[in-house]
Amino acid sequence: MVWYLIVAAGVILDQLTKLAAQHLKPDGVVTVIPGFLYFIYRVNTGAAWSFLAEHAWGIYALAALSAVASLLFLYLLSRAAETGVKLALSLITAGTIGNMIDRVWRGGVIDFVDTHFGSYQFPTFNAADSLLVVGTVILLILVMAKPHAQLFKPGRAAAAKHPATEGDEQDHA
């Protein structure tokens, strides 16, 4: 249950920060750390780095993909066996739902965190994107550190088989 509360808290945090960012429009910029971190209002009708933004149908395809991904992540969250995996999937799910809400209700994702590294300007992002990245990094570390079978509960078919029965069948065959 706590993991679903984390999902809800992440979605609420994302939506509240985007609501606050709307007060920056149309071209307002807030300097947080000069030469490095700024808050600026942008709407991205595509995915990461404006992928599919030039296609009118792109927002609908991305909203549908976000809905399917959200359901998949919620299912995986229900099957996760370890605390770290549950945390990672909670963050990923919150980020996915947060950006899906924008696509459905606003016609594009609100981005507002603008970072610069010298002459390089990183693509503008939001809290949902941060949740997605942090959750994905945690999940990747866990997947690399432990075998897949230890990260998720066995499915019904695997749980129905009794290990001793498997070996007995092989011996009598």
Give the residue numbers marked as catalytic: 111, 129
Six-digit token string for 23 = 């007060």
Type of residue at 56: A
> How many residues are given for the chain?
173
DSSP codes of every residue in 82-126:
SHHHHHHHHHHHHHHHHHHHHHHHHSSEEEEEEEEETTEEPPPB-
Cα–Cα nearest to 18, from 99, 116, 133: 99
Cα–Cα nearest to 125, from 134, 135, 114: 114
CA distance 62 to 137: 22
